[in-house]
Every structure is written in C-alpha cells, then in structure tokens.
C-alpha cells in the first residue's frame, strides 16, 4: 500500500501541485470493505 500511495502522491503533485501527507493516512483494512 505504501508504495502505491507514494506513486499516486508523486503523480498528483506533478499534475496539480498540491501537498499531500508523506504517508498514507489510512490502513489497507480501512480502505477495503
């Protein structure tokens, strides 16, 4: 999850220039139903 999050943050920062948390604020269990 952490690697996927970091990839997504990199793309969002490049595309939109927004600041996101360095680490995913949710656990995998919280994200999956």
Give pLDDT tens digits for 1-28. Answer: 999 999 999 999 999 999 999 999 999 9
The confidence score (pLDDT) of residue 14 equals 96
- Helical (H) or strand (E) element with 25: none
| Alpha carbon distance 10, 4 (integer Å) | 10
Quote the tokens at residue 33.
Answer: 């139903």
Buried b (16+ CB within 10 A) or exposed e, 3-30: eebeeebeeeeeeeeeeeeeebeeeeee
Query: Is-above-0.75 flag for pTM?
Result: no
DSSP H stretches of helix in 1-33: 2-16, 28-31
């Amino acid at each position: 999850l952490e690697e996927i999050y970091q990839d997504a943050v990199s793309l969002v920062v490049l595309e939109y220039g927004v600041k996101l948390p360095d680490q995913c604020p949710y656990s995998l269990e919280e994200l999956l139903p």
